[in-house]
């Protein structure tokens, strides 16, 4: 990647987004970082400046199309172009569909799916003017498989992958505009600490848990050598083939395994996590799940 390229990253405050910002910064990219909390975002920006990058931090809720439009405008006004747009912001919840409040379900769709739609619309306007650009959307292995207790997340990620496939078809007339999907498996980020939880139980991510830097590296790679789809996390990616080849066996097996592995003993009151308000406490790259993951307890909510 050329050092003068401009990269927009949504969801840059923690996890995969923060790891990705650091890697692009090391390459000397000009960064436009988006997240809901201005103070946390500025801390990430300072890390990137220390690595030699020019950085613009733009507080943004990707669930608002006006916010996303302002983000794109700010990037162009400040740096003159957008070469790579990384759509990464995402929310998560645990609970059956019937346990999950409608406003929680809707908020996850708003951020995970519509936020990507708004980002693509803003980025493509700039890419069409420039005649080039790379859209990298962080989807999920849940774009291709299912499990209980995460219905809004699965719905959003299935929808996102279909949306990206349509975009690739519609941009075939522009050979220098690329649409890429990165599908992580379970990643060691704070998203599980941030998640809404309506199960009544402490929860944990499904093993094996993957280093978020692996996903960040995949994002940087596809921005340089675009590919339609990249999966990160070999073990859980195997479930894609299991579901395709034997769906009748996959569904009951995964339903039993997920409840056994994801739910811990104990009780917790229902809570919306960071869905409606940014969490300033868990903003690192990792969530610490690879350190004694079976003993760690999700903070009470």
Please report the sign of the dihedral spanned by the C-alpha atoms of residue 167, residue 169, residue 172, residue 176.
positive
Residue in 140, 148, 96 with CA at minimum distance from that of residue 259: 148
Look up tokens 């988006």; give the residue: 34
Dig out the tokens for 70 from the structure. 């302002």
Residue in 11, 48, 55, 58 with CA at minimum distance from that of residue 30: 55
Whole-Å CA distances, 285 to 18, 96, 189, 233:
6, 28, 6, 17
**Angstrom distance (rounded) from CA 160 to CA 133:** 19
**Angstrom distance (rounded) from CA 194 to CA 197:** 9
Residue in 174, 173, 187 with CA at minimum distance from that of residue 219: 187
- Is residue 142 annotated as part of the catalytic site, yes or no? no
Q: With contact defined as beta carbons under 8 Å apart, do 87 and 157 qualify?
A: no
Pinpoint the alpha helices (H) of the chain. Answer: 15-26, 38-50, 65-79, 102-109, 115-130, 151-170, 191-194, 212-224, 234-245, 247-262
Q: With contact defined as beta carbons under 8 Å apart, do 189 and 177 qualify?
A: no
Whole-Å CA distances, 284 to 26, 35, 90, 233, 271:
18, 13, 15, 20, 21
Q: Catalytic one among 92, 118, 142, 153? A: 153
- The residues annotated with a catalytic role in the active site are 153
């Amino acid at each position: 990647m050329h050092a003068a390229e401009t990269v927009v990253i949504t969801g840059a405050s923690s996890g995969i987004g923060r790891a990705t910002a650091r890697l692009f910064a090391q390459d000397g990219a000009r960064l436009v970082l988006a997240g809901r909390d201005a103070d946390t975002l500025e801390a990430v920006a300072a890390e990137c400046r220390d690595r030699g990058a020019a950085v613009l931090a733009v507080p943004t809720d990707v669930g608002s199309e006006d916010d996303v439009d302002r983000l794109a405008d700010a990037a162009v006004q400040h740096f003159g172009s957008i070469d790579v747009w990384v759509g990464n912001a995402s929310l998560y919840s645990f609970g059956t569909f019937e346990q999950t409040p409608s406003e929680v379900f809707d908020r996850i769709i708003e951020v995970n799916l519509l936020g990507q739609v708004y980002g693509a619309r803003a980025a493509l306007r700039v890419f069409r003017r420039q005649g080039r650009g790379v859209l990298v959307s962080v989807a999920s292995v849940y774009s291709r498989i299912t499990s209980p207790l995460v219905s809004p997340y699965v719905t959003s990620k299935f929808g996102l992958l279909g949306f990206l496939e349509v975009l690739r078809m519609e941009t075939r007339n522009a050979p220098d505009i690329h649409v890429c999907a990165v599908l992580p498996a379970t990643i060691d980020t704070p998203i599980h600490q941030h998640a809404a939880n309506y199960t009544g139980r402490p929860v944990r991510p499904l093993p094996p848990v993957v280093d978020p830097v692996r996903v960040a590296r995949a994002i940087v790679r596809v921005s340089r050598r675009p590919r339609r789809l990249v999966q990160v996390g070999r073990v859980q990616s195997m479930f894609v083939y299991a579901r395709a080849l034997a769906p009748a066996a996959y569904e009951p097996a995964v339903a039993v395994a997920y409840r056994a592995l994801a739910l811990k003993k104990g009780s917790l009151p229902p809570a919306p996590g960071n869905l409606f308000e940014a969490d300033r406490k868990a903003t690192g790259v990792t969530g610490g799940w690879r350190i004694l993951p079976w003993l760690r307890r999700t903070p009470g909510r």
